[in-house]
Amino acid sequence: MKTIRFGAFLLAACAAAAFASPALAEPIQVTEDISVSGDYDWRRFADDHLTLNVYNWGLYISDGSDDSVDVLSAFEELTGIKVNYTTFDSNESLYAKMKSGGASYDVIFPSDYMVGKMIDEGMLAELDFDNIPNFSYIGDKYTGWGFDPDNAYSVPYTWGTTGIIYNTTMVEEPPTKWADLWDVAYAGNILMFNNSRDAYAIAAKKLGLSLNPSSVEEVDEVMKELQDQKSVVQAYVMDEIFDKMTGGEAAMAPYYAGDALTMIEDNPDLAFCSPEEGVNFFVDSMCVPATSKNKEAAELFINYMCEPDVAYQNCDFIGYSTPITEVWERLDDDLKYSPIAYPDEEVMDKAEVFVTLPDDVNAELDAKWSEMKSYDESGSGWLVVAFLVGALAISGFNIWRKMRRKVRDNY
């Protein structure tokens, strides 16, 4: 188990760069909002008609929507390299796609523990940092983690925490702990992560355990909690959470802080909390698969993504926290000092990082997750009653709120 305490360094990491920044000698202006280092050979593949296959999380890049900058189009214009950009919704689906050999990628964006797993299985290429000089922009507090201690295979892209996003018009009391996701009063109005590692972490924290299981027996114990929760869960989701929460289709759900900011912007009735039992701190990284046929061009892409102007556009648009100090300093104050994007010392002191699990523990986690998902709790009539009572209570509460608003408005 590795428990990370971040409060002591968080403000310092945001206040000063750990490495000297590369000089921007005669920067190249790519778009009105993006200029890049002028002392880097961005055009060396321009005549090779290359296409890079990039595989990233959904809604995880500045893509030109909502008046944002399309950083991929800017990359294509700058380098002459085409980008085939596709998305995944969990580390597990990324791993399964890679392991099947059904597709070939040049740049992928796995999270910490998945980086470690892929390194162990020989799935990632060792990076040539001569091609990634912008790595020097990354603050030292975001490098050297156990999953890749020398950062030989990964370059940090963003970081963040998990928490609970909830609809203030559908909950009687704001949630404060992970255990609130088991509340039968909200049966049928609770969403849950649709991946084994995040879901397990929540149940483990509810029990006062580390989110990193130490044995197969511990996996079995925690998975019983998830099985008990299943009766109140409306759906297991990943990217689907955006439509469900912004559309008022559920009362609460666990999710990533950066995405919570996006949902709150789309629906002001939503709010976010960091549960008191402790949260997951994660780092998502850029890596090159060992099977890439365009490794040097992939490293060029990673270097581009670390350009301060590019990284700023990405972080400003997606809301996730940046490991690049210079970018943090340029953010608007409402994001720069957001307790969601940049939690305070109290939250970060209890944050914990996923580690790469032993093979037997990981296999048990996968097996028990599949077993839990297929578990049929039918026949428990009291759960139906609880669901109906909870639904009526929430409905009555919402009617009362609307009547109170109407009376106040009339007054």
Confidence (pLDDT) at 408? 30
The answer to which of 28-37, 93-102, 195-204, 298-307 has the lowest mean pLDDT is 93-102
pLDDT at 167 over 60: yes
Confidence (pLDDT) at 113? 96
What per-residue string of b and e applies to 114-145 under the rule 16 or more CB within 10 Å gives b?
bbbbbbeeebbbebebebbebbebbbebbbeb
Pick among 3.40.190.10, 3.40.220.10, 3.30.70.100, 1.20.1050.140: CATH of 161-281+371-399: 3.40.190.10
What tokens does 382 get?
A: 């009291």
CB 101 within 8 A of CB 107: no
CB 346 within 8 A of CB 161: no
Mean pLDDT of 267-292: 97
**pLDDT band per the 50, 70, 90 thresholds, residue 297:** very high
pLDDT at 197 over 60: yes
pLDDT at 341 over 80: yes
Q: What is the share, in percent, of the chain residues with pLDDT greater than 90? A: 84
Tell me the pLDDT tens digit for each residue of 343-378.
999 999 999 999 999 999 999 999 999 999 998 765
CA distance 162 to 274: 7
Confidence (pLDDT) at 405? 35
3-class DSSP state of 330: helix
pLDDT at 400 over 90: no
pLDDT at 286 over 60: yes
CA distance 312 to 306: 9
pLDDT at 91 over 80: yes
What is the rounded average pLDDT for all residues in the chain?
88
Mean pLDDT of 74-86: 98
**pLDDT band per the 50, 70, 90 thresholds, residue 48:** very high
Please report how many Cα atoms fall inside a 13 Å half-sphere around the Cα of residue 119, on the Cβ side: 23
Confidence (pLDDT) at 337? 94
CB 182 within 8 A of CB 229: yes
CA distance 270 to 253: 11
Confidence (pLDDT) at 33? 97
Confidence (pLDDT) at 375? 84
| Identical fold, 7-159+282-352 and 161-281+371-399 | yes
The answer to which of 129-143, 188-202, 396-410 has the lowest mean pLDDT is 396-410
Transcribe 331-368 into DSSP letters: S-HHHHT-TTTS--HHHHTT-EE--PPPHHHHHHHHHH
Confidence (pLDDT) at 96? 95
Confidence (pLDDT) at 165? 98
Determine what percent of the chain falls in helix, strand and coil, rounding each to the nearest 5.
45, 15, 40
Confidence (pLDDT) at 376? 79
CA distance 331 to 308: 11
Confidence (pLDDT) at 380? 45
Mean pLDDT of 46-63: 97
pLDDT at 16 over 90: no
Please report how many Cα atoms fall inside a 13 Å half-sphere around the Cα of residue 364, on the Cβ side: 17
Tell me the pLDDT tens digit for each residue of 105-134.
999 999 999 999 999 999 999 999 999 999
Q: Give the start-to-end residue ranges of the domains of the chain.
A: 7-159+282-352, 161-281+371-399
CB 197 within 8 A of CB 113: yes
**CATH (residue range 7-159+282-352):** 3.40.190.10
Only one residue has tokens 């189009």, namely 73
CB 42 within 8 A of CB 28: yes
CB 286 within 8 A of CB 138: no
